[in-house]
Amino acid sequence: MAKKPSGSKRPPKKSAAKKKSKTQRMPSLRAPADTLWLMYRKMSEIRLFEEQVWDVYTRGLMPGLAHLYIGEEAVAVGTCTALRDDDYITSTHRGHGHCLAKGGQLDRMMAEIMGKEAGYCRGKGGSMHIADMSVGILGANGIVGGGFGIATGAALSSKLRNSDQVSVCFFGDGASNQGIMLETVNMAAAWDLPAIYICENNQYGEHTPYQAVTGVEDIADRAKGLGLEGVIVDGSDVLAMFDSVNQAVDKARTGGGPTLIEAKTYRFHGHHVGDAQTYRTRDEAEWWRTNKDPIKLLSDYMVDNGVAKQEELDAIYEQVEREVLNAIEFGKDAPLPPPEQAYEDLYA
Amino acid sequence: MPEREMLFREAISEAMREEMQRDSSVFLIGEDVGPSGGIFKCCEGLFEQFGPQRVLDAPIAEAGYIGLSVGAAMTQMRPIAELMFGDFALLAMDQIVNQAAKIRYMTGGQCKVPMTIRLAMGAGRSSAAQHSQSLQSIFAHVPGLKVAMPSTPRDAKGLLKSAIRDDNPVLFFEDKMMYNDKGAVPEEDDFIIPFGQAEVKRSGTDATIVATSSMVTVALAAADKLAEEGLDIEVVDPRTLMPLDEETIVSSVRKTGYALVVDEAPQSYGATAEIAARIGEKAFDYLDAPVMRIGAADLPIPFSPPLEFPTIPDVERVVRAIKDQRGS
Ligand SMILES: Cc1ncc(C[n+]2csc(CCOP(=O)(O)OP(=O)(O)O)c2C)c(N)n1
Ligand SMILES: [Mg+2]
């Protein structure tokens, strides 16, 4: 059995020396203070939720597989913080983070992951298929690249309905090699659809390094050939994500067409819980955990800029932890669906 | 013939290894088939033995690498493409159905397409609707394709070697619940099982169960239960759906007078319908009751175990069907 994930405790604290800087206010923050708090809270929520999923999986409390988002929190949170409730996203097999960031509820997500009737999909979908249409989550997806058509179609729908809703497609470096990316992104570019393609380049598709199967170093480079703007962002920096997505959203809402944003990131865990990770070195993973933990980077920023005291951040973290634990209890206590429900929901 | 015990997945990898040794035109392509040995461990050791020229880690681009396999097969190579979950074949449908299946015929027999596509099929692991399908009937419906469905390690090895040597595109279905099943496999290097030869997995006189892939195990368990009640059941495993060994199936039914067909795909329009129809056509006068069939419920496979399990055929349902058929 694998060790308890590192980062399973709260992110490392600021050193006392650096803390002093909180008194010298920076001239301007990269995002309003309340937005920073919100992003810190959301990222903590995702981190703590995923740690609990690890635990729930390891204790055999959930069926199926669990693909954890730990390490990539800044991508989902930076992106979704720039969106409205009525904007759309499509997510992936590694979707818990996207769904939480877009407004998914901890308890109904956990119930779904455990296969319970109270879950978002009434136990029919599980971890890889969480959806909440009421907040624009058009669904996680078990098919790599499965979100391209749906997200682009939602963007087309906005345009046809004269709505200013935008549509975000999250996809991996692996998914970027699916042919449907070319087909759909081309249409978005040709027709100026309000779509934003967020490539989460965590450098591996399952066990294969993306460089081994991908002709370009930067997936954002493909944007040029497809006729849209391509941007590379540090996916561990939630503020950089927020900034880029804000620009893309402004453009999309005002008829300026799609953007492709490549977030350079890393999954701190294996492809799924239980993956032995023979395809990468411990040092590599450790480097990312030490230097690129998105939650630590944000909390450092908040402390350095006098937005927060470390104790305040810790208090939030603990509060979120209690909420997550409540969601686990909710999931555990919720009843399994009765077998006859298998026959419901097929046709409208 | 001396035999060894091995796992289903080991039988798969041994078949590939032997055929790759025997014929340098055989190569393997698929997602994570290289150093990591495949997610179901069917390719373990092949990359180490044959190197990156013959064991290729593909990008996640099913239409792409199946397409490449078609082209390579047309030009003197003999690809084995692993599709991980069979559900992903649906992303490569054009390549399989419009290209691989038809190119020889359309070009008046000028070329052949000797390729094998291996796909993991079946429910039972809470993998939900996009990782659990049993798509065999869809491919068996397409003229130009062959479809194999091994039910034991022995059949897996013998049929896969045949598939690789076949000059036509073969869809090779591996039930993911069987990968760790153990069974005896002949030692001999050249052990092959020709396509179109059903096997009577248990002989009996009172009723025939025709079952495919993992449903053979279900049928055999049901036969054991029914034996306790004095019914002597024959279990026939077609082993390949296309070509189908109609003769063995029909002669079994002529002997027993009862037929039940079991396959894990959704029941409507599936392999069970085709086999039942053939029995109806060829053994009508011998039947003491209508042919019955059992498939999965006509549903996408749900995630949660209490929803998933009742939707797939199991021993209880087979036992009940056999009894219902006799009105007992
Ligand atoms: C069409 C399809 N092919 C293959 C898979 C199996 N699979 C699941 S996740 C995955 C890797 C995806 O890599 P990437 O897009 O980079 O996302 P990441 O897991 O790194 O977040 C693969 C190959 C699948 N689910 N769907
Ligand atoms: Mg990846």
Is A219:A199 a contact under the CB 8 Å cutoff?
yes
Q: How close does chain A come to B85, measured CA to CA in Å?
A: 10
| Residue B85: alpha-carbon gap to chain centroid | 13
**What pLDDT, on the 0 to 100 scale, is given for residue A20?**
43
Protein fold of B7-186? Rossmann fold (3.40.50)
Query: Cβ contacts (< 8 Å) between B129 and chain A: which residues?
Result: 124-125, 129, 142
Mean pLDDT of chain A: 94
In tens, the pLDDT along A165-184 reads: 999 999 999 999 999 999 99
Which helix (H) or strand (E) segment holds residue B262: the answer is: strand B259-266
**What pLDDT, on the 0 to 100 scale, is given for residue A21?**
45
In tens, the pLDDT along A27-61 reads: 689 999 999 999 999 999 999 999 999 999 999 99
Query: Cβ contacts (< 8 Å) between B308 and chain A: which residues?
Result: 342
Which helix (H) or strand (E) segment holds residue B139: the answer is: helix B136-140
**What pLDDT, on the 0 to 100 scale, is given for residue B50?**
98
Strands B182-186 and A208-209: unpaired
Query: Cβ contacts (< 8 Å) between A203 and chain B: which residues?
Result: none
Query: Cβ contacts (< 8 Å) between B56 and chain A: which residues?
Result: none
How large is the ipTM? 0.95
Task: Output the six-digit token pair for B304.
Answer: 């949660």
Task: Output the six-digit token pair for A244.
Answer: 């880029």
Cβ-defined contact of B127 to A144 (cutoff 8 Å): no
Task: Give the residue from B304, B93, B196, B146 showing the smallest Cα distance to A128.
Answer: B304
Is pLDDT above 70 for A139?
yes
**What pLDDT, on the 0 to 100 scale, is given for residue A11?**
53
pLDDT-based confidence at residue A312 (cuts at 50, 70, 90) = very high
Q: What are the two backbone dihedrals, phi and then psi, of residue A208, each rounded to the nearest 5 degrees?
A: -110, 125
Strand partners, B185: B4
- C-alpha of residue A16 to centroid of ligand 1, in Å: 42
Cβ-defined contact of A177 to B64 (cutoff 8 Å): yes
Test the B interface: residue of A178, A181, A182, A346 with most B CBs within 10 Å: A178
Is pLDDT above 50 for A300?
yes
In tens, the pLDDT along B130-167 reads: 999 999 999 999 999 999 999 999 999 999 999 999 99
Report the pLDDT averaged over residues A96-124. Answer: 98
Indicate which residue's Cα is closest to atom 6 of ligand 1: A144
**What pLDDT, on the 0 to 100 scale, is given for residue B177?**
97
Catalytic residues of B: 131
In tens, the pLDDT along B50-90 reads: 999 999 999 999 999 999 999 999 999 999 999 999 999 99
Q: Which residues line ligand 1 (CB under 6 A)?
A: A 93-94, 142-144, 172-175, 200, 202, 204-206, 271; B 31, 60, 62, 84, 88, 91
**What pLDDT, on the 0 to 100 scale, is given for residue A13?**
52
Is B24:A195 a contact under the CB 8 Å cutoff?
no
The residue in chain A having the minimum alpha-carbon distance to the alpha carbon of residue B311 is A342
Provide Rg for chain A, Cα atoms.
Answer: 20
Q: What are the two backbone dihedrals, phi and then psi, of residue A78, each rounded to the nearest 5 degrees?
A: -60, -40
Looking at domain B199-326, which of 2.40.40.20, 3.40.50.920, 3.40.50.620, 3.10.28.10 is its CATH number? 3.40.50.920
Residue from the list A142, A143, A208 with its beta carbon closest to the beta carbon of B57: A208
On whether any CB of chain A is under 8 Å from the CB of B32, the answer is: yes
Is pLDDT above 70 for A271?
yes
Tell me the domain boundaries of chain B.
Answer: 7-186, 199-326
Q: Which residue segments constitute the domains of chain A, with CATH numbers given?
A: 33-329 (3.40.50.970)
Provide Rg for chain B, Cα atoms.
Answer: 19
In tens, the pLDDT along A72-81 reads: 999 999 999 9
Cβ-defined contact of A126 to B128 (cutoff 8 Å): yes
**What pLDDT, on the 0 to 100 scale, is given for residue A204?**
98
Cβ-defined contact of B60 to A144 (cutoff 8 Å): yes
Q: How close does chain B come to A200, measured CA to CA in Å?
A: 15
Report the alpha-carbon distance of residue A64 to residue A85 in Å, rounded: 30
Strand partners, A89: A137, A168
In tens, the pLDDT along A330-339 reads: 999 999 999 9
Is pLDDT above 60 for A211?
yes
Q: Which residues of chain B have pLDDT under 70?
A: none
Report the pLDDT averaged over residues A187-208. Answer: 98
A193 against A18, higher pLDDT: A193
Q: How close does chain A come to B63, measured CA to CA in Å?
A: 8
